[in-house]
């Protein structure tokens, strides 16, 4: 209704006057009755009549009463109520109009006409209003339905768009996942291709090396055969020429026989002299051995005396401390320090240590506090203890051999250089004992309630720091020395007098850290090796604890076969494939050892028990150790991310093991390959050292060979191993090593014999028939320690020839056998053939 009223032009033009006239309750809204009155007022105005300024009160009261009746009676009386109201309105408006425009006598007929027209208009307006309301309601419903359909359509579109976006995101995620999988597959495929190419390259390199070696051998063999052929042709020609001169040589045979008999007699005499010299050398060796034993006994006696002297020294020190507590002694020392400009404090081995007295300590403190005093120039101290930091030598003139001179100076660098070298021993002892101190502290805290309560009380006064934190402070301090000195050096000018000394102090601090770390690492490795020596069972018998393996006493904490300290590189739990047996593997720098955990020990908490002093973990040797020199390579498996294989020379099938994680497998493979390379490098360095010591310079590099020595090591007799060898080995496995010029060859070792028979052929090139020497060494083959020497000798080639060199050159090359005596009385029998290649000068 209100919308229809608003749309009317009359309502707008008359400034809402009919609405204000019909709105009786002044609430700004028109009821149905008020709307009818307002529409009638509009019709009156449209007809050209004038509206009253105020409606009669009876109409309004009647309207209110009729509204109440309408609310009580229902819709049946609505028409009559509106009829009465319209009638009254018509009368009112008619009355007003007639009073203004017509005479009183024409009021009655016009009023009837107006009533008739008012009733019809009212009914028509009511019907039109109802139709208009129905039309607007229909339009409103249609508009609402259209809005609802549009909202639903928009909602469907929005949901469709959201679903489409969600599907697009899912599709993109799926495509990204597929791309990642494809990328991963490509990476894996690329890695497999790289591994395959690497394997093929290695195989090709190995085959190429074998081919080259074979071609080189064939070339050398062809060259030798051609040389031999030419030599045989030359010998044939010589024989033909010599046949013609046989008659002349027969005449001189008698003289030659006599000369040979004299040489044989002389040779026998020389052999007897050499035997006598050898006997004298053996006696001299025995005497020197007795002398060494006497010296060892004297050293022990001196050590006992030294202990007694140290005990006396401690008692003297205690008495000296009591004496120094007196005031007179303190005043005397203070007066001496003030009167003298330089004080030398010498610590001799049997002199009481005066520096520990309280008075001297007081003087030292004063010197440190007032180090700028002109009366004290320097302090010279000779320490009476051997520090473990002998490698930390700061490059400063303040430190000299045997004496450490602390010159009083205001330079920070010089002060640091003078004190840092003396810290290594104390810091090493502290760091080495810290782990045990932490364990003891934790045991004390767990077992003692009073101690734990006191710690809580004291911790409130230390700013929240625990006792364990205070134990860590010294270690943090020594690691911060290089950083602090570096900061000081950073803010020091280059032309400053203290700059060079600060650089020296920085180097000294770094050396201090490296030295301490190295000592701690070596100590930890030594403790681990000792623990493994005690908790590993070597034999098949569980009660076997003799420690012998391959007839050799195994000592983990010792030198290995290459004369290098044995180290534990890596250890961990692996699984053997395909048996699935769990093994505890230990990788050393010379062999790989696999062990099993005994059933009495728990295999689940082995990580907490291993290398612990009070551990009950027992290990049993699973198989013989695999020596690194026998390992060819360790490879990662392509089919499994946790499996790796070890290919060796002694086993036909590779050893396949499975790690617990992928990174652990990579660590195992990398560590094994690196250890194998280091082992091969160590063996090559040993051979290079032997060649360097046996060759006097590089004389043979620029000269051609003049002869070829074909040598067969037949046997050795009466080998005498040392007492150390007999203690450590149940048997002797000797082998012979012969070095001529730069070439070293050795025979295979013979097991459990002191009279080995090798019959091993060898071939050497001779560059100088007079100067070249043959070095013969016999060793006992070791597996877990350096090879023990069983005898050696170095002889010139001319010394083992059956005749003098000049005569030998004129004769054909025939084999001859010689018995060579070693330095300890043992002997070696060798068979030699010397083939002359060119004429010797």
What confidence tier does 677 reach under pLDDT thresholds 50, 70, 90? very high
- 153, pLDDT greater than 80: yes
Decide if 109 is inside a domain.
yes
Q: Where residue 599 sits, what CATH number does that domain have?
A: 2.30.29.30
Decide if 158 is inside a domain.
yes
Decide if 615 is inside a domain.
yes
Do the Cβ atoms of 786 and 561 come closer than 8 Å? yes
Quick one: 103 and 77 in the same domain? yes
As a whole number, mean pLDDT of residues 117-138 equals 84
Residues forming beta bridges with residue 818, ordered by sequence position: 830
H, E, C per residue of 318-380: HHHHHHHCCHHHHHHHHHHHHHCCCEEEECCCCCCCHHHCHHHHHHHHHHHHCCCCCCCCEEE
Domain boundary among 182, 204, 236: 236
Most confident of 80-89, 464-473, 597-606: 464-473
State the Cα torsion 698-699-705-707 to the nearest 10°: -110
- Residue 331 has what pLDDT? 54
Quick one: 675 and 713 in the same domain? no
Prediction pTM value: 0.48
- Residue 671 has what pLDDT? 93
Higher pLDDT among residues 338 and 594, named by residue: 594
Decide if 506 is inside a domain.
no
As a whole number, mean pLDDT of residues 656-667 equals 92
Do the Cβ atoms of 552 and 729 come closer than 8 Å? yes
- Residue 348 has what pLDDT? 35
Range of the domain at 41: 1-236
Average model confidence (pLDDT) across the chain:
76
Helix, strand, or coil (residue 292)? helix
- 756, pLDDT greater than 80: yes
Decide if 410 is inside a domain.
no
- Residue 268 has what pLDDT? 81
Quick one: 679 and 704 in the same domain? no
Contacts of 141 (CB under 8 A, 6+ apart): none
What confidence tier does 410 reach under pLDDT thresholds 50, 70, 90? low
Quick one: 209 and 99 in the same domain? yes
What confidence tier does 777 reach under pLDDT thresholds 50, 70, 90? very high
Decide if 319 is inside a domain.
no
What confidence tier does 670 reach under pLDDT thresholds 50, 70, 90? very high
- Least confident stretch, 214-218, 242-246, 553-557: 242-246
Decide if 814 is inside a domain.
yes
Do the Cβ atoms of 741 and 775 come closer than 8 Å? no
Do the Cβ atoms of 743 and 711 come closer than 8 Å? no
Quick one: 21 and 60 in the same domain? yes
List phi, psi (to 5°) of 743: -105, 130
How far apart (Å, rounded) are the C-alpha atoms in residues 508 and 485? 10
As a whole number, mean pLDDT of residues 62-66 equals 56
**Total structural domains within the chain:** 3
Residues forming beta bridges with residue 766, ordered by sequence position: 707
| pLDDT tens figures, 256-281 | 777 777 788 778 888 888 888 888 88
Do the Cβ atoms of 622 and 586 come closer than 8 Å? no
- Residue 16 has what pLDDT? 54
- 328, pLDDT greater than 70: no
Question: What are the start-end ranges of the H helices in 600-731?
Answer: 606-609, 662-694, 723-728
List phi, psi (to 5°) of 388: -85, 0
Higher pLDDT among residues 728 and 453, named by residue: 453
Peptide bond into 578 cis (omega under 30): yes
Higher pLDDT among residues 283 and 2, named by residue: 283
Q: Where residue 795 sits, what CATH number does that domain have?
A: 2.60.40.150
- Residue 252 has what pLDDT? 65
What confidence tier does 90 reach under pLDDT thresholds 50, 70, 90? low
- 329, pLDDT greater than 60: no
Quick one: 615 and 735 in the same domain? no
Quick one: 656 and 728 in the same domain? no
Quick one: 145 and 106 in the same domain? yes
Q: How many other C-beta atoms lie within 10 A of the C-beta of residue 194? A: 10
Q: What angle do CA 243, 245, 251 make, to 5 degrees?
A: 120
Quick one: 797 and 707 in the same domain? yes
Quick one: 152 and 28 in the same domain? yes
Question: What are the start-end ranges of the H helices in 491-557?
Answer: 499-535
- Residue 433 has what pLDDT? 78
| pLDDT tens figures, 510-568 | 888 888 888 778 888 888 888 888 888 886 544 445 678 888 888 888 888 888 889 99
Strands 378-382 and 343-346: parallel
How far apart (Å, rounded) are the C-alpha atoms in residues 363 and 529? 48
Do the Cβ atoms of 659 and 665 come closer than 8 Å? yes
Contacts of 197 (CB under 8 A, 6+ apart): none
- Residue 665 has what pLDDT? 92
Percentage with pLDDT > 90 across the chain: 17
Decide if 261 is inside a domain.
no
Domain boundary among 634, 660, 689: 689
Quick one: 728 and 784 in the same domain? yes
- Residue 292 has what pLDDT? 83
Domain boundary among 652, 668, 689: 689
| pLDDT tens figures, 457-511 | 777 777 667 777 777 778 778 888 888 888 888 888 888 888 888 888 888 888 8
What confidence tier does 667 reach under pLDDT thresholds 50, 70, 90? very high
- Residue 704 has what pLDDT? 81
Q: How many other C-beta atoms lie within 10 A of the C-beta of residue 72? A: 8
- 156, pLDDT greater than 60: yes
Quick one: 682 and 770 in the same domain? no
């Amino acid at each position: 209704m209100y919308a229809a009223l608003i749309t009317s032009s009359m309502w707008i033009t008359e400034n809402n006057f009919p609405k204000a006239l019909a709105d009786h309750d002044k609430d700004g809204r028109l009821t149905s009755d008020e709307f009818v009155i307002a529409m009638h007022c509009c019709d009156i105005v449209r007809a050209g009549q004038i509206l009253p300024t105020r409606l009669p009160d009876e109409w309004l009261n009647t309207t209110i009463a009729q509204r109440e009746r309408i609310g009580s009676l229902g819709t049946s009386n609505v028409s009559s109520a509106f009829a009465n109201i319209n009638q009254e309105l018509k009368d009112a408006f008619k009355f007003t109009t007639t009073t203004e425009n017509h005479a009183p006598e024409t009021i009655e007929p016009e009023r009837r006409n107006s009533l008739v027209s008012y009733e019809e208009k009212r009914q028509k307006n009511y019907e039109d209003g109802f139709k208009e309301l129905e039309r607007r309601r229909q339009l409103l419903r249609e508009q609402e339905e259209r809005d609802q359909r549009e909202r639903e359509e928009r909602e469907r579109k929005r949901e469709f768009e959201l679903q489409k976006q969600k599907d697009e995101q899912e599709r993109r995620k799926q495509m990204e996942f597929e791309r990642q999988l494809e990328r991963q597959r490509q990476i894996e495929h690329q890695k497999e291709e790289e591994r395959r190419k690497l394997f093929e390259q290695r195989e090709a390199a190995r085959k190429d090396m074998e081919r080259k070696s074979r071609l080189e051998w064939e070339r050398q063999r062809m060259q030798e055969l051609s040389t031999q052929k030419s030599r045989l042709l030359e010998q044939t020609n010589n024989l033909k020429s010599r046949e013609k001169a046989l008659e002349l040589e027969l005449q001189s045979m008698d003289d030659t026989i006599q000369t040979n008999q004299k040489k044989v007699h002389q040779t026998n005499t020389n052999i007897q002299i050499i035997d006598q010299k050898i006997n004298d050398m053996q006696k001299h060796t025995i005497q020197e051995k007795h002398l060494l034993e006497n010296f060892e006994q004297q050293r022990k006696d001196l050590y006992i005396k030294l202990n007694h002297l140290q005990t006396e020294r401690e008692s003297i020190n205690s008495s000296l401390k009591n004496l120094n507590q007196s005031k007179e002694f303190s005043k005397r020392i203070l007066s001496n320090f003030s009167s003298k400009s330089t004080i030398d404090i010498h610590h001799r081995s049997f002199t009481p240590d005066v520096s520990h007295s309280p008075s001297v300590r007081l003087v030292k403190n004063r010197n440190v506090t007032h180090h700028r005093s002109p009366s004290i120039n320097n302090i010279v101290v000779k320490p009476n203890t051997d520090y473990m930091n002998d490698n930390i030598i700061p490059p400063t003139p303040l430190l000299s051999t045997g004496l450490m001179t602390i010159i009083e100076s205001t330079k920070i660098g010089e002060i640091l250089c003078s004190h840092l070298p003396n810290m290594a021993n104390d810091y090493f002892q502290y760091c080495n004992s810290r782990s045990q101190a932490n364990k003891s502290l934790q045991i004390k805290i767990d077992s003692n309630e009073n101690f734990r309560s006191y710690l809580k009380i004291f911790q409130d006064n230390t700013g929240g720091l625990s006792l364990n934190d205070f134990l860590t402070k010294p270690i943090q301090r020594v690691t911060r020395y290089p950083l602090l000195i570096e900061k000081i050096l950073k803010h020091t000018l280059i032309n400053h007098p203290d700059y060079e000394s600060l650089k020296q102090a920085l180097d000294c601090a770094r050396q201090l850290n490296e030295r301490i770390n190295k000592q701690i690492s070596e100590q930890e490795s030594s403790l681990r090796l000792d623990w493994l020596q005690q908790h590993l069972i070597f034999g098949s018998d569980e009660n076997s604890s003799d420690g012998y393996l391959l007839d050799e006493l195994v000592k983990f904490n010792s030198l290995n076969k290459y004369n290098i300290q044995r180290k534990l590189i890596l250890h961990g739990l692996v699984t053997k494939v395909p048996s699935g047996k769990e093994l505890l593997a230990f990788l050393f720098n010379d062999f790989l050892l696999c062990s099993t955990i005994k059933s009495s020990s728990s295999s689940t908490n082995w990580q907490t028990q291993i290398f612990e002093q009070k551990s009950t973990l027992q290990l049993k040797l699973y198989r013989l150790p695999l020596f690194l020199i026998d390992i060819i390579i360790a490879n990662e498996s392509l089919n499994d991310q946790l499996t790796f294989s070890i290919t060796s020379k002694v086993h036909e099938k590779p050893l396949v093991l499975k790690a617990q994680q992928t990174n652990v497998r990579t660590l195992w493979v990398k560590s094994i390959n690196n250890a194998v390379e280091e082992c091969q490098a160590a063996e090559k360095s040993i051979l290079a050292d032997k060649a360097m010591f046996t060759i006097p310079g590089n004389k043979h590099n620029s000269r051609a060979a003049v002869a070829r020595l074909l040598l067969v090591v037949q046997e050795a007799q009466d080998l005498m191993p040392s007492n150390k060898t007999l203690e450590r080995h149940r048997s002797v496995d000797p082998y012979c090593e012969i070095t001529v010029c730069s070439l070293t060859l050795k025979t295979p070792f013979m097991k459990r014999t002191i009279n080995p028979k090798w019959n091993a052929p060898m071939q050497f090139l001779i560059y100088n028939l007079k100067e070249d020497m043959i070095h013969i060494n016999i060793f006992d083959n070791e597996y877990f320690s350096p090879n023990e020497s069983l005898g050696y000798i170095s002889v010139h080639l001319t010394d083992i020839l059956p005749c003098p060199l000049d005569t030998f050159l004129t004769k054909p090359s025939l084999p001859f056998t010689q018995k060579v005596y070693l330095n300890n009385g043992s002997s070696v029998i060798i068979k030699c053939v010397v083939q002359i290649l060119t004429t010797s000068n």
